[in-house]
Structure formats: C-alpha cells, structure tokens
Amino acid sequence: MTTVTRRVAPTPDDSTALRFPQNFTWGTATAAYQIEGAATADGRTPSIWDTYSHTPGRVRNGDTGDVATDHYHRWREDVEIMADLGVSAYRFSLSWSRVQPTGRGPAVQKGLDFYRALTDALLEKGIEPVVTLYHWDLPQDLEDAGGWPERVTADRFADYATLAARALGDRVKTWTTLNEPWCSAFLGYGSGVHAPGRTDPVAALRAAHHLNLAHGKAVQALRAELPSYARASVTLNIHHVRALTEAAEDVDAARRIDALANRVFTGPQLRGQYPQDLLQDTAGLTDWSFVQDGDLAEIHQPLDFLGVNYYTPTVVSAATDGASHGSDGHGASEHSPWPGADVAFHRPEGSTTAMGWAVDPSGLYDLLLRLKADFPAMPLMITENGAAFDDYVNPAGEVVDPERIAYLRGHLSAVHRAIRDGVDVRGYFLWSLLDNFEWGYGYSKRFGAVYVDYPTGRRIPKASARWYAGVARSGTLPEEGSGS
C-alpha cells in the first residue's frame, strides 16, 4: 500500500465546549462473537466464525472466540460498567447460533433468557438496549447448505428475526437487521479474510444481494411482530471514497469502489434499485440473474434511521505498478474483495491507529454531508466509531490512552460540525465497550474503552472511558486539554 502525500485538509477544530442536542443518544457497542464466549453453553452450536477461527492459519496466533471476554458469564459486571460510564444506550448483537442453533426451527429458550436478562438489567439502569440481529455469525449449518450466496438463507433470516422480535419485542424498541453486510459478503466470500473464508467473486455478489433481501424480509418480519413505536434500521460501513487525484482514471476508480462498497447496499435498500454502473462493471462476472422479480420491492423497506460505521477514509487510484491492488486495510489476501474493480489503494500520510488506518475526522464530516445530500429525509446514527491502539497497564494499574481520546475528540467534533451544518445525526455509539476478539486479528488489537486482561478477565476502564463518560453525562465536548 502506497502513501498519499497529498492530504485533504482536516476538519477545523470545533472542540471548544461543543454542546450536542439535548436528546442526542450516547452509547457504546459490541458484537456477540467478539465478547460472549461460552461457545458451547446452553445449546449454542458453531457459527461460521467458530469454524473459521478454529481453522489453522486463519486468525492471528490461533485465537478463537471460545472464551472471548466471557461476557456470557460476566454481563452483570459489564452492565455496571456501562452505568458508571453514563451511556444512554447499548448496541449489542444476538448470536444466531445461541438463539436458533441450526438456523432453522424453534428458538432455544436458554439462549433467549440470556438476552432477556441482559436487556432487563440494562433497562433497570436506564440504558436503552439496541439489538443487532446479525453481526457476521451465520450458523454453520446454514453455511453448509450454501450460506449467503443462496437465496434460502434470506428466508431463514426472516424466521430468525420473527423469533427474536417475539422474545424481546416487549423490551427492545430499536432493532438493526444487519451490521456491515459489505464485510459479510466481500470479505467473507470474496477475499476470504473473514468467515467463511471463501474466495469466489460471483459468490460475493450473490451474497450481497441475498443479504439485501434478508434485510428487507427481516424489516417486514419485525414490523409484523413489534409495537408501532419500535424502530427498524440497518448499519452500513459506508466507505468515504476519495480519488487520489482529479485525473479521470482515478475518479473512475473511486466510482467503481463507491459502487461496490456503498451503492450495492444503499441502492436497493434506500432507492429500490441497483446502480447501473455496478451492473455494468461486474457484467463480465455475472448477469445478476439471481435478482428475481419482486426482490427490489421487498428489499426497499421504510427505515427509521440509517446506522453509519466510520473509522477511516478510503483513497484509491487507477491500478499502478507497486501499489496495492487488493489490500485495503481489511486483511491481506491474494484475492480481492472488489469484484470487477482493479484499482490501487493508498494510505494518507499522518497519524495512524494500531490497525494502520489513517486518523482523519474530515472523512466522517464529508461522509455525513454526502449522506444528507443523497438521502435528505433519512435520520442518521453513528453506530460505530473508535480506534485500536497498543494499550497497556502501567505500574500504577492504569491504562492511559491519550491517542484514543484525541481520536474521539476529533471525530465527535466532526459529528457536531455536521449537525451544525444541517445533518440529522441522532446519536453516537463508541466502538467498543471492551477490548475483544478482533476477528482475523484475534486479541492483538484493542478497540475497547475498557481494557480486558484476557487471562483473568479483569476489566480496567481506560482514561478514554472516563473521558467519554464525561461527554456522555454532560452532552458536551469539553475544551481540549481538560479532563484526562
């Protein structure tokens, strides 16, 4: 991956005592496989991530989510931590394999009881539970039957959504169907750096469509079961794509990646159609005949808000010798997650996180303005934003992480600036509550506001957790230099 020497000007510093709207949601987020552990407890069966992580060579250091942070047994402690942070909402995902082990048939009540108890405890503390139905952990039985490239998986997902809504609909008002379906489709079935580890570009495109279809079917299932006041959403990792230069070939490279990263989902979900340039770019791979009559209408369901995950911008150019044509920060593979797009990826100069991702809050601001322009009536929620750094416990028993505080300050300032400029952003969820299993990177990357000592499970709130607690409680971004 080459380094970009030309950098877009950063967002101006608006961090001096910025006040957010009074009803702004301050939350934190996790995902089931990354934190729960208890991989075989109470009837849970393997998901694709259990299989993938147990396959030699797939995950750094051979790490698995078998124990993770043991949230399944320590959830009461974690709820107390959230209460101490003063957050008003907690976004978590259900483990499909824990709720419906084979992806078919009746629910397992012990699995549902875990989530019932968790949501009850959250509500007792005044924390709104925000449930994500799918955060990448497809039951292995469904993958064995073909997985997301097969249409039937969307039907199974709708059944699962119905089970979850019936069990938790009296407690949970806010629901998300899918988290980052781009990762599920293109990293899972294209580059193979995520579960299930397949490397078939056509399967990746089929998976993207059937994830879209699953989303639409699940929204309908939720609406059929939930009270009228319940909210339905989807969370997308909208890539803020920048062309390296204004040259026509670089601009076209950015267009191609925007189609594959963003419009493959926003098109059918929010407009009821796939973009024509995407279909043309991939015509050499597939004729898209897997899109059947009625699919687009079923996918295009009214949503109460769009969840937006942002970490870093994506800078691309036309393919050049010596530049990375496939690696884009998501994991190294000989296979590209970008079917039909041969482009080069570039890293902006400046500071980076432990993931090697550029720290650039201006990308979040620009992205939010783009979404307002494209979908002016759609409320937005920042459902993930955060950073991994090489955190450690100092001799005083503390975890001091000024880099993360600076990252959060910059990105919250960008959100505030977007709100000031007319973007309807309703809330912000810090990723993540806890250090956890970071997918193909295992336990080598720490995103949490709370440090986890993995051998003992001990939780240690970092300096950034205390800082974020002050922001969440006051609804105000403090002056730079105040607090931790």
User: 3-class DSSP state for residue 233?
Assistant: strand
Q: Which two tokens stand for residue 214?
A: 């699953």
Q: Give the integer Cα–Cα distance in Å for 265 and 395.
A: 48
pLDDT bucket at 10, cuts 50 / 70 / 90: very low
Residues 6+ apart with CB under 8 A from 228: none
Q: Smallest Cα–Cα separation from 449: which of 429, 474, 477?
A: 429
Residue 7 has pLDDT above 90, yes or no: no
pLDDT tens-place string over residues 386-416:
999 999 999 999 999 999 999 999 999 999 9
How distant, in Å, are the alpha carbons of 166, 242, 259, 312, 425 from that of 316? 45, 6, 13, 13, 28
Cβ-count burial of 324 within 10 angstroms (0-12 exposed, 13-18 middle, 19+ buried)? middle
Q: Give the integer Cα–Cα distance in Å for 385 and 218.
A: 25
Q: Smallest Cα–Cα separation from 179: which of 228, 215, 141?
A: 215
Residue 180 annotated as catalytic: yes
Q: Give the integer Cα–Cα distance in Å for 450 and 88.
A: 17
Strand partners, 39: none
Q: What is the pLDDT of residue 103?
A: 97
Is residue 170 a contact partner of residue 125, using CB atoms and an 8 Å limit? no
Q: What is the pLDDT of residue 88?
A: 98
Is residue 69 a contact partner of residue 125, using CB atoms and an 8 Å limit? no
Instruction: Determine which one of 36, 384, 403, 438 is catalytic.
Output: 384
Residue 363 has pLDDT above 90, yes or no: yes
**Other Cβ atoms closer than 10 A to 484:** 15
Mean pLDDT of the region 65-74: 98
Q: Residue type at 206?
A: R
Q: What is the pLDDT of residue 348?
A: 84
Q: What is the pLDDT of residue 2?
A: 39
Q: Give the integer Cα–Cα distance in Å for 348 and 315.
A: 7
Q: Smallest Cα–Cα separation from 476: which of 380, 409, 402?
A: 409
Is residue 214 a contact partner of residue 153, using CB atoms and an 8 Å limit? yes
Instruction: Compute the residue count for the chain.
Output: 484
pLDDT bucket at 323, cuts 50 / 70 / 90: low
pLDDT bucket at 330, cuts 50 / 70 / 90: confident
Mean pLDDT of the region 288-309: 98
Is residue 238 a contact partner of residue 371, using CB atoms and an 8 Å limit? yes
Residue 479 has pLDDT above 90, yes or no: no
pTM of the model: 0.96
Q: What is the pLDDT of residue 484?
A: 45
Mean pLDDT of the region 247-253: 98
Q: What is the pLDDT of residue 400?
A: 98
Mean pLDDT of the region 442-459: 98
Q: What is the pLDDT of residue 327?
A: 57
User: 3-class DSSP state for residue 103?
Assistant: coil
Residue 398 annotated as catalytic: no
Q: What is the pLDDT of residue 410?
A: 98
Q: What is the pLDDT of residue 4?
A: 41
pLDDT bucket at 34, cuts 50 / 70 / 90: very high
Q: What is the pLDDT of residue 197?
A: 98
Instruction: Determine which one of 180, 298, 403, 438 is catalytic.
Output: 180
Strand partners, 425: 380
Residue 280 has pLDDT above 90, yes or no: yes
Strand partners, 446: 389
Is residue 23 a contact partner of residue 80, using CB atoms and an 8 Å limit? no
Cβ-count burial of 339 within 10 angstroms (0-12 exposed, 13-18 middle, 19+ buried)? buried
Residue 9 has pLDDT above 60, yes or no: no
Q: What is the crossing angle of helices 201-225 and 152-168, to 10°?
A: 30
Q: Give the integer Cα–Cα distance in Å for 195 and 183.
A: 10
Mean pLDDT of the region 256-271: 98
Mean pLDDT of the region 307-313: 98
Mean pLDDT of the region 221-233: 98
Mean pLDDT of the region 114-136: 98
Cis ω on the peptide bond leading into residue 432 (within 30° of 0)?
A: yes
pLDDT tens-place string over residues 142-195:
999 999 999 999 999 999 999 999 999 999 999 999 999 999 999 999 999 999
Q: Which of the pair, 376 or 350, is modelled with greater confidence? A: 376
Q: Which of the pair, 205 or 10, is modelled with greater confidence? A: 205
User: 3-class DSSP state for residue 383?
Assistant: strand
Dihedral sign, Cα of residue 142, residue 143, residue 148, residue 149: negative
pLDDT bucket at 324, cuts 50 / 70 / 90: low
Percent of the chain residues past pLDDT 90, beyond the cut: 92
Write down the residue that tokens 């976004």 correspond to.
91
Q: What is the pLDDT of residue 352?
A: 97
Mean pLDDT of the region 360-369: 98
Mean pLDDT of the region 245-270: 98
pLDDT tens-place string over residues 92-107:
999 999 999 999 999 9
Residues 6+ apart with CB under 8 A from 132: 31, 91, 92, 93, 94, 175, 176, 177, 178, 179, 235
User: 3-class DSSP state for residue 484?
Assistant: coil
pLDDT bucket at 482, cuts 50 / 70 / 90: low
Q: Smallest Cα–Cα separation from 161: which of 103, 210, 114, 208?
A: 103
- The end-to-end CA distance of the chain, in Å, is 35
Residue 459 has pLDDT above 60, yes or no: yes
Query: Average pLDDT of the chain?
Result: 95
